[in-house]
Structure formats: structure tokens, C-alpha cells
Amino acid sequence: MKKNILNLIKYLSIPLVGGFIIGIISDTTNYNLIIPSIIFPIVWTILYTLMGISSYLVKRDGGNLKLYYLQLIINFLWPLIYFNLNAKFLALIIIIILIIIVINMIEYFKEYNKLAAKLQIPYLIWLAIALSLNIVTIIN
């Protein structure tokens, strides 16, 4: 039981700490975003928590986390490319790739733990919103 709790904490910590660091170093100060800026840390904290729980469940149930870690790295890169480098078209390509990877990750998670797969649906929805915002900022 104690080992399970420690593992859960470990799997929760990876996306939460990584997301916190990316949130600090992402330069969003010069952007007039459609969504109020206070929403982002709240939503991302929830999504990273769900990611951590999902990764724990899949690993516990015998799956590997290669796709999970790949999407997490790409997830962490997107705000740096979009905000810090102001490379909106490159960010658009990256978020499309990220969405494809997340869809595949959800399908893979489903093989090991259906709840883990379902916990990723809000993330996929949020990525679709981010994709839409990315497109809008390119058009404007």
C-alpha cells in the first residue's frame, strides 16, 4: 500500500513539477489571450493531475509510458515555442502532432486501464481549444 502511494506521488509529480516550471518560464506577458490568464494555471493543474493519475494506473497495470512521456515533452515545448519564440505556425504544427499522439496514447491506455484513458479526454478537449486559439492568432 505504501509503495502504491509513493508511486502515485511520483507519477503525479512529473507532470505537475514540469508544468509548473514551464509555466514560470513561458513568457505570456505580451499576449492578449481570448481566455482570461487566470484560467490557464487552474486548468493545467487539473490536467496534469489527471495525467499523473492516468500514467500511474497504466504503469501499475503493466503498460509502458513511452507515448505518455513523448506527449509530455511535446506538451512542455509548445508554450516555449508559441510564447517565448513567437513561432505560431511551428506551434500549430506541434500542437497538431501532440493531438495525434494524445489520441494514440488514449487508445493505448484503454488497453490497460479504461479509467486512465477516460481521464485524458479533458486534456484532448483542452488541446482542441488550444489548437483553435493557435489558429486564430495566426489568422489575426
Residues across the chain: 140
At residue 37, φ and ψ (nearest 5 deg) are -60, -25
Residue 9, CA distances (Å) to 16, 49, 99, 100, 125 in order: 10, 10, 26, 28, 25
Alpha-carbon span 140 to 36, nearest angstrom = 18
Q: Provide mean pLDDT across the span 45-50.
A: 98
Instruction: Give the percent of the chain with pLDDT over 70.
Output: 96
d(C-alpha 48, C-alpha 132), whole Å: 21
Residues 113, 90 contacting (CB under 8 angstroms) = no
The 10s digit of each residue's pLDDT in 118-133 is: 999 999 999 999 999 9
Which domains does the chain possess? 2-139 (1.20.1260)
Predicted confidence band of residue 27 (pLDDT cuts 50, 70, 90): confident
- Count Cβ atoms within 10 A of the Cβ of residue 120 and give its class: 0-12 exposed, 13-18 middle, 19 or more buried: buried
Residue 85, SS3? coil
Instruction: Answer yes or no: is pLDDT of 7 > 90.
Output: yes
Place of cell 509530455: 72
Q: How confident is the model at residue 32 (pLDDT cuts 50, 70, 90)?
A: low
Report the alpha-carbon distance of residue 78 to residue 70 in Å, rounded. 13
